[in-house]
């Protein structure tokens, strides 16, 4: 059974309603041609963006957007999220004659969705795009909400755009092809949603987990499309997670090791053996430790974070061998997080639930890191 989750985005010109549907369930990818036909009725061709691993999957041959299309393949992994690849894609679109009235279709995980979405947002100042989400991480989080972007050596997702898709297909049948660690990467985001109003997620069937996560994110996006308010709560656990990823990518750029190609559908951070979702799981427990340090929560709530992470088969440990200087480097990356306003800002649990907290002292942030390193 396919579940339709609407994402409502307010109104456009002349009071026209904005929004799109997310289709969740086995076989949802078969709806691609209908989605393109209804979402971009003037389109005459499509650019399909995917990564090398997805392109080699037997089921990829069945991807049919219903119009003439050209496939553009990028390397898997977080290191593909670069300005150089955005330029390469846009130049390929231009050589293929892609018009503003045509469409881009992202087929893959979060890296492909972020990269292809940003290329679509910038080419011709914006062409329509949609996503066939092939990983759990992409289905429960990355493909929903219109945040697209790429990384810089200075930090993750520092260059990007809000560019909403005209639809998202979450084919849960495709998740059967995922290696266990890629499934774990998505479960890190599932863990996050348990603290954002979905406490029963760990006990649900997979299709229900995906649909509930999509619905929860859709509600926050509808309330705050441009992340000026409550949508920032979706960054719970991500401040440290992004710092871990950025630190590893930075070391790789300096030739200091780490920063591998990531996991096969592009969900890996590529650094320190952590996928994005695994880094989020660590970040959730770190956020709980920091909240306790600030007097916002007690021991039981910290333990609940650990229990949720462990119940989903994830670890709350920092990468092995991370030195004191490495932890201080993480602090510098966290200070450059997009939530910061010339200060240290974290989404933290508290007596009123999860909320954004500004003005955290470096001593407290580093102290919580030290505490995490000792567990």
- pLDDT-derived band at 366, boundaries 50, 70, 90: very high
Interatomic CA distance for residues 89 and 347, integer angstroms: 34
What is the β-pairing status of strands 168-171 and 155-162? unpaired
Active site residues: 125, 147, 189, 217, 227, 231, 235, 238, 242, 276
Model confidence pLDDT, tens digit, residues 211-232: 999 999 999 999 999 999 999 9
Vertex 47: Cα angle to 163 and 74 (nearest 5): 85
Per-residue pLDDT reduced to its tens digit, 282-332: 999 999 999 999 999 999 999 999 999 999 999 999 987 777 788 899 999
pLDDT of residue 311: 93
Report the alpha-carbon angle 74-79-82, nearest 5. Answer: 75
**Helical residues (DSSP H) of the chain, grouped into ranges:** 32-39, 52-55, 83-95, 110-122, 136-137, 180-194, 206-223, 238-253, 276-293, 299-311, 324-335, 362-373
Q: Whole-prediction pTM value?
A: 0.89
pLDDT above 70 as % of the chain: 91
Give the model's pLDDT for residue 252. Answer: 64
Specify the residue for token string 């639809």: 167
pLDDT digits (tens, 9 = 90+) for 22-79: 999 999 999 999 999 999 999 999 999 999 999 999 999 999 999 999 999 999 998 9
Q: What is the DSSP letter of 182?
A: H
Is residue 1 within 8 A of residue 28, CB to CB? The reply is no
pLDDT score at 265? 44
Handedness of CA 279, 282, 284, 286 (dihedral sign): negative
Confidence of residue 254 (pLDDT cuts 50, 70, 90): low
- At 15 the pLDDT is 58
Q: What is the pLDDT of residues 153-198, one digit of tens each?
A: 888 899 999 999 999 999 999 998 888 888 888 999 999 999 999 9
User: Is residue 129 over pLDDT 90?
Assistant: yes
Q: 360 near 294, Cβ under 8 Å? A: yes
CB 290 within 8 A of CB 365: yes
pLDDT at 185: 85
| Other beta carbons within 10 Å of 359 | 8
Backbone phi, then psi, for 198, in 5-degree steps? -125, 65
Percentage of residues of the chain with pLDDT beyond 90: 79
Paired tokens of 117: 């979405």
**What is the Cα–Cα distance from 221 to 232, expressed in whole angstroms?**
10
| Domains located in the chain, CATH noted | 3-223 (3.40.50.1970), 237-373 (1.20.1090.10)
How is 263-277 classified by DSSP, letter by letter?
A: STTS-EEEETTEEHH
Contact 136, 172 (CB under 8 A): no
What pLDDT is stored for residue 51 in this prediction?
A: 98
Q: Are 206 and 172 in contact (CB under 8 A)?
A: yes
Q: How would DSSP label each residue in 333-358?
A: HHHTSTT-SSS--EEE--TTSSEEE-
Between 130 and 17, name the one with better pLDDT.
Answer: 130
Distance CA 238, CA 189 (A): 10
- Residue 261, pLDDT score: 35
């Amino acid at each position: 059974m396919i579940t339709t989750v609407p994402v409502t985005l307010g109104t456009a010109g002349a009071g026209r309603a904005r929004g799109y549907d997310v289709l969740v369930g086995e076989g949802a990818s078969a709806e691609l041609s209908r989605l393109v036909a209804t979402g971009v009725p003037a389109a005459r061709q499509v650019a399909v963006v995917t990564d090398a691993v997805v392109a080699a999957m037997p089921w990829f041959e069945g991807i049919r957007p219903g119009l003439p299309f050209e496939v553009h393949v990028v390397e898997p992994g977080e290191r593909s999220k670069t300005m150089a690849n955005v330029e390469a894609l846009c130049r390929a679109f231009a050589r293929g004659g892609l018009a503003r009235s045509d469409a881009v279709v992202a087929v893959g995980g979060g890296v492909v969705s972020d990269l292809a979405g940003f290329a679509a947002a910038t080419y011709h100042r914006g062409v329509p795009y949609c996503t066939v989400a092939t990983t759990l991480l992409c289905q429960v989080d990355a493909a929903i909400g219109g945040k697209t972007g790429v990384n810089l050596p200075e930090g993750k997702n520092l260059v990007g755009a809000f560019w909403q898709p005209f639809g998202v297909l979450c084919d849960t049948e495709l998740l059967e092809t995922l290696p266990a660690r890629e499934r774990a990467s998505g479960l890190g985001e599932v863990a996050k949603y348990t603290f954002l109003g979905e406490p029963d997620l760990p006990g649900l069937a997979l299709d229900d987990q995906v649909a509930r996560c999509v619905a929860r994110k859709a509600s926050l996006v509808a309330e705050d499309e441009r992340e000026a308010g409550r949508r920032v709560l979706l960054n719970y656990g991500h401040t440290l997670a992004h710092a871990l990823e950025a630190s590893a990518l930075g070391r790789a750029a300096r030739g200091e090791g780490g920063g591998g190609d990531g996991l096969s559908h592009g969900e890996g951070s590529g650094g320190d053996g952590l996928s994005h979702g695994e880094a989020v799981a660590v970040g959730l427990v770190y956020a709980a430790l920091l909240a306790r340090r600030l007097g916002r929560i007690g021991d039981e709530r910290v333990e609940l974070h650990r229990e949720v992470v462990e119940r989903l088969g994830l670890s709350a440990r920092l990468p092995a061998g991370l030195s004191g200087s490495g932890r201080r480097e993480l602090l510098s990356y966290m200070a450059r997080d997009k939530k910061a306003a010339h200060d240290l800002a974290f989404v933290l649990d508290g007596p009123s639930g999860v909320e954004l907290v500004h003005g955290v002292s470096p001593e407290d942030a580093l102290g919580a890191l030290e505490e995490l390193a000792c567990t």
